[in-house]
């Protein structure tokens, strides 16, 4: 195969994804108007992602991040160490 054809085949998926994203953003712009994008923090999953921000919403500032605000489902649902499944204290430990 010719080198130009191989390079074109390698770049084709990236070009297609870029064109698709551009069309998608253009259609969103036509229906909703201009939008500001920023980093948004999700306390339930402890992750951040880029999203369109509402007019009254500020973007996520990593300097203000507090790891204690993360709602870890494993920590919240963990039973106490001093009790068994029935809710009574475990007398075998004492």
Residue 73 in any domain: the answer is yes
Pair 20, 39 in one domain:
no
Pair 39, 70 in one domain:
yes
Residue 53 backbone dihedrals phi, psi, to 5 degrees: -95, 145
User: For residue 21, what is the enclosing H or E element?
Assistant: helix 3-32
Pair 29, 43 in one domain:
no
**Interacting residues of 83 by C-beta distance below 8 A, sequence separation 6+:** 89, 90
The predicted model scores a pTM of 0.49
Please tell me the number of Cα atoms within 13 Å of 23 on its side-chain side: 6
The residue that leads in pLDDT, 84 or 9, is 9
Residue keyed to tokens 């204290």: 89
Which residues pair with residue 66 across a beta bridge? none
The per-residue pLDDT for range 52-78, each reduced to its tens digit, is 777 776 666 667 666 666 666 565 555
In terms of average pLDDT, the best of 7-16, 29-38, 46-55, 62-71 is 7-16
What's the mean pLDDT in 27-41?
85
């Amino acid at each position: 195969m010719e080198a130009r054809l191989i390079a074109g085949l390698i770049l084709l998926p990236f070009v297609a994804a870029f064109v698709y994203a551009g069309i998608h953003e253009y259609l969103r712009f036509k229906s909703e108007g201009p939008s500001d994008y920023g980093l948004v923090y999700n306390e339930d999953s402890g992750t951040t992602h880029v999203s369109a921000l509402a007019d009254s919403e500020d973007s996520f500032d990593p300097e203000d991040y507090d790891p204690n605000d993360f709602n870890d489902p494993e920590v919240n649902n963990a039973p106490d160490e001093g009790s068994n499944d029935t809710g009574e204290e475990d007398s075998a430990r004492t």
